[in-house]
């Protein structure tokens, strides 16, 4: 049995706990032995109290410690661990491996997905990006990751940074465009829900076509009459600025091809 301990009780920690419990029920050779949470109450709906601690000094022995706390707390927590030379990883897309304390062997266990509390996800479809300092540790991370997901990638810190920045574009920024769409609908008394099938199809399309093949619309067609009509229609200065910036970027792209 490979023993795993999770440190943290937020979004990622809770989804990881559920995923390990699931895989354990299905007979995986991975055992979630303990969870650390500052407030034991945060995870008491998921685990037996005997498996929860709020004191780092009482952490049990394990093959792998997964630190799933806020980015800026990773360094401090890793330096407070009361043991040496064990494998300690964090789950962040933007924090380098080297931030972890030198007392222990370092690694990264980054699930590339956006988690929401109380919204179940199918963990088996979530890519997990792994990094470690040596091959033996990588093998252990790989084994643990495979027990909960079918999509495991070896990704170094530089590549992970690229993925994280790309994720900001396709997730955070895309969601902001949805919000602008909603604001435009509200202003003109149209239900935003009418756009739901379009939003779904736009995301599905790029599973089949590359984004550049899938690109349509007035900017791509250089349809200046429609672009001008849209710009005249947009009464919100900020919406207009974003419309112009992205239209120009699509048009510049067209010129390069």
Binders of a copy of itself in range 106-165 (CB under 8 A): 112-114, 116, 119, 121, 125-127, 129, 151, 153, 155, 158-159, 161-165
Q: Give how far Cα 39 sits from Cα of 55, 80, 193, 239, Å.
A: 10, 17, 39, 42
Nearer Cβ to a copy of itself (39/238): 238
Which residues lie below 8 Å from residue 107, measured CB to CB, with a gap of 6+?
87, 88, 89, 97, 130, 131, 132, 133, 137, 138, 141
Structure tokens at 199: 């939003």
Q: Smallest gap, in angstroms, from Cβ of residue 241 to ligand NAP? A: 26
| Beta-sheet strand order (sheet of 30-36) | 52-53, 30-36, 2-7, 64-67, 87-90, 105-111, 128-132, 152-154
Residue found under tokens 């780092």: 56
Q: Smallest gap, in angstroms, from Cβ of residue 34 to a copy of itself? A: 28
Query: Which among a copy of itself, ligand NAP, none contacts residue 91 (Cβ within 5 to 8 A by kind)?
Result: ligand NAP
Specify whether the CB–CB gap between 128 and 152 falls below 8 A: yes
240 touches a copy of itself (CB under 8 A): no
Name the segment binding ligand NAP (CB under 6 A); options: 38-46, 134-142, 186-194, 249-257.
38-46
111 touches ligand NAP (CB under 6 A): yes
Q: How many CA atoms lie within 13 A of 175 on its CB side?
A: 5
68 touches ligand NAP (CB under 6 A): yes
Which residues lie below 8 Å from residue 191, measured CB to CB, with a gap of 6+?
185
Binders of a copy of itself in range 187-206 (CB under 8 A): 187-192, 194-206
Q: Smallest gap, in angstroms, from Cβ of residue 59 to a copy of itself? A: 28
149 touches ligand NAP (CB under 6 A): no
What are phi and psi for residue 69, nearest 5 degrees? -120, 170
Query: Which among ligand NAP, a copy of itself, none contacts residue 79 (Cβ within 5 to 8 A by kind)?
Result: none
Report CA torsion sign: 51, 52, 57, 59.
Answer: positive
Print the binding letters for residues 81-100 with ligand NAP: x by CB under 6 A, - otherwise. ----------xxx-------
Among residues 4, 5, 8, 78, which is the contact residue for ligand NAP, using CB under 6 A?
A: 8
Print the binding letters for residues 188-207 with ligand NAP: x by CB under 6 A, - otherwise. --------------------
Q: Which helix (H) or strand (E) holds 157?
A: helix 157-167
Nearer Cβ to a copy of itself (87/145): 145
Q: Which residues bind ligand NAP (CB under 6 A)?
A: 8-13, 38-39, 42, 68-71, 73, 76-77, 91-93, 110-111, 113-115
């Amino acid at each position: 049995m490979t023993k795993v301990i999770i440190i943290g009780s937020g979004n990622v920690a809770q989804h990881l706990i559920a995923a390990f419990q699931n895989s354990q029920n299905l007979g995986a050779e991975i055992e979630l032995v303990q969870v650390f949470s500052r407030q034991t109450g945060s995870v008491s709906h998921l685990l037996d109290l005997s498996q929860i601690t709020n004191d780092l000094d009482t952490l049990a022995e394990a093959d792998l410690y997964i630190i799933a706390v806020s980015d800026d707390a990773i360094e401090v927590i890793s330096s407070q661990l009361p043991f040496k030379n064990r494998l300690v990883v964090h789950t962040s897309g933007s924090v380098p491996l080297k931030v972890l304390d030198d007392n222990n062997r370092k690694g990264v266990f980054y699930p590339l997905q956006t988690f929401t509390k109380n919204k179940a996800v199918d963990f088996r479809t979530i890519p997990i990006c792994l990094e470690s300092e040596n091959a033996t540790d990588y093998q252990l991370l790989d084994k643990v990751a495979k027990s909960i997901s079918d999509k495991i990638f070896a990704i170094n810190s530089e590549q992970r940074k690229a993925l994280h920045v790309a994720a900001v574009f396709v997730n955070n920024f895309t969601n902001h465009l949805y919000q602008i769409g909603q604001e435009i609908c509200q202003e003109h008394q149209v239900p935003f829900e009418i756009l739901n099938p379009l939003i779904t199809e736009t995301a599905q399309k790029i599973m089949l076509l590359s984004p550049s093949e899938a690109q349509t619309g007035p900017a791509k067609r250089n349809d200046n009459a429609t672009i001008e009509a849209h710009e005249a229609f947009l009464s919100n200065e900020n919406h207009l600025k974003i419309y112009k910036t992205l239209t120009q970027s699509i048009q510049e792209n067209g010129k390069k091809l």
